[in-house]
Chains A and B, each alone.
Chain A
Amino acid sequence: MAKEQSTEQIDPSMPDWSAYRGVLIVVEQREGIAKKVSWQLLGEGKKLAAKLEAPLMALVLGENVAHLAEEAVHYGADRVYLCEAPELRDYRTRPYSRVCLKLIEDAKPEIVLFGATATGRDLAGAIATHLPTGLTADTTQLDVEPHPSRLLLASRPAFSEKMMATILCKQYRPQMATARAGVFQALPKDAARQGEIVRIEATMREEEIDAQVLEFLRETGKLNLEECEIIVAGGRGLGGPDAFGLLAELADALGGVVGASRAAVDAGWISHEHQVGQTGATVRPKLYFAIGISGAVQHTVGMSNADVVVAINRDENAPIFQFAHYGLVGDLFKIVPAITAEFKKRRTLFGIQPPSDKDSLSAAPTESESTATRERSEAK
């Protein structure tokens, strides 16, 4: 086995970190399309950078991703480091972490943020160990103390979301965190915004890279609830898989997608990719319908960031009403079809076309179970 990576000594007195300035967001992309969490982090990073009176930087890496550097500027970055190389086409830990490490060494950001996605965590975990520095996982709240301490206050849920913990990294720079998708808000895209784009070199040649991505099986029709704007979610109150058809009709009328509580998923009425909550997706849609869902904390942590919540439940004391902007007490089997009909009617009244099939929001979720989700449900 190869020898251990060396890590630097801890300095017991507070080290001088004045060379480290600014906030860096590592942009995640696949095939030239950025993950929304990257722009959400730029939105949040902007606030942190403003409080620190320091620049907001982004790192874009991949192959043919120059357009994302521009986009990062439009979403708030003052300076974007762009690294394009064929070796970076697929995400692989080593070549990606090499580029990040070199940039962190050169640009010396005081804060580095990654999306708490599979890729973001894979990368951040490797980099933090290498530097070494502290890494706070899966944060949902970020703040900074202004000069002179300039500390990142990184807060994250703990113990199945029952508690929140604020974690600091006082002795090391940069301060690093991964941040959950769907929690922070992106700035509106401003195509007129100007910023600096700095090209940097990739530092690893293909011969040095062992890992090979042989194939990527995109789960076509796989829902990315985190990216959806309108979600119509159902729970145990639906009583069986059939009622999800009613929800799909409402979702279609609105141009939205279907979500679910864990109870509905566990009952096998719908696949896990639809699950919202602690062990499912954290969503931030503009509109969220909670239908036949009681509102357990493990569910509400995943949806309480929705702009508008509509709850339909026959129990007027259901906790979900505490999270709802609009509440309807009654039988979902009567109310949901009426709402669907009403929205269809209004669409015709306004002469508005239903969302086109190409619209990613209108993907019919229930029919598109991929092999992967099938395997997953079999594994249970």
Chain B
Amino acid sequence: MLHIVVCIKQVPDSREIRIDPKNNTLIRQGVPSIVNFYDMHGLEEALRIKDEQGARITVVTMGPPPAEKGLKECISLGADDAVLVTDRGFAGADTLATSYVVARTIRKIAETWGHVDIVFCGKQTLDGDTGQVGPGVACRLDLEQLTYVNKVEKVDEENRKVRVHRLLEDGIEVVETSMPVLITALKELNKVRRASLPGMIRAARYKPTVWTTADFPDLERAKIGLKGSPTIVAKTWVPEVKAVKTKMITYDSPEAAAAQLADQLLTKDMQTLLDWA
């Protein structure tokens, strides 16, 4: 049977974050934590594959203990197992350090529950928003990577092939590659289902597997957390609104307004600007 790992991240809903106008800092209080919604589309696709051809689904997150809530949500939707990797040592990880731990965890999952065929990640998160963890994990596990996927056309278990559509800026690319493979999910991939009552009951009783650094005897300390992160946030600030010199056009009739605007725009500069000359 296929074994699918879905990577999820519990994130503050950045749409709800406001800036404190007094000291230009983020107001995070009362901001709800949610499972990064791209990840839910990754899970949904895994569930669809499970519905169609059978699969075992393991969900994984690296994060603080409250991230367990997100894992339970995935269980309520139909995931089979969930793993929380949590340790103070992981804190402050950038994408390089995150991909190191997530990749190690997936390797351990494969050792524990059997080989992994497909890994789903979200296209990016709502907080860090880098889209770099997926390619990072793929690289570390030496998996083929298929990013920006908006359709999984075929998962051929027998021939170990996967065919997807990737949504790029200028079109759609149809790509086929072999399993094991890492796929990053777009929201266009599918419509996320709701939890069933039995699912919710199972989730309420479910205890995710928790791993800490102690469970990874060969994890290199220099590669995890803040220490293992080459990028450093040196400064944050609230961008200033660019001051633009506005010329308000006053007018008696729409026609007069249009004529004034055209006069302004078709000055010599603008004329070349608009390639009209």
Contacts and interface: CB of A to CB of B under 8 A. Distances in A.
Contacts of A132: 96, 230
B254 A338 contact: yes
A53 interface: no
Interface string A1-23: 11111010110000000000000
Given A159-B14, A339-B258, A327 B275 contact: no
A159 B17 CA distance: 7
A255 B265 CA distance: 14
Interface stretch (A38-46, A79-87, A134-142, A196-204): A134-142
Chain A CB within 10 A, most for which of B26, B96, B148, B276: B96
Nearest to B220: A9
A271 interface: no
Interface string A241-277: 0000000000000110000000000000000000000
A286 interface: yes
Contact of B262 (A4, A167, A172, A339): A339
Interface residues of A, number: 98
B145 A122 contact: yes
Contact of B266 (A128, A339, A346): A346
Interface string B81-111: 0000000000000111001100110110010
Interface in B216-238: 220, 222-223, 227-238
B273 A287 contact: yes
Interface string A284-308: 0011000000000000000010011
Q: Interface majority SS on B: helix, strand, loop or mixed?
A: mixed
A207 interface: no
Nearest to B13: A160
Interface of A: 1-5, 7, 9-10, 30, 35, 90, 93-94, 117-119, 121-122, 124-126, 128-130, 132-138, 153, 157-172, 210-219, 222, 224, 226, 229-230, 254-255, 286-287, 304, 307-310, 321-330, 334-335, 337-339, 341-343, 346-347, 350, 352, 372, 375-376, 379
30 contacts: A1-B106, A5-B140, A93-B135, A93-B144, A118-B166, A118-B167, A125-B133, A125-B139, A129-B135, A133-B96, A138-B130, A157-B239, A159-B17, A166-B234, A170-B232, A212-B176, A216-B171, A217-B173, A224-B169, A226-B169, A286-B273, A287-B274, A310-B261, A321-B246, A322-B244, A325-B244, A328-B261, A338-B254, A376-B150, A376-B188
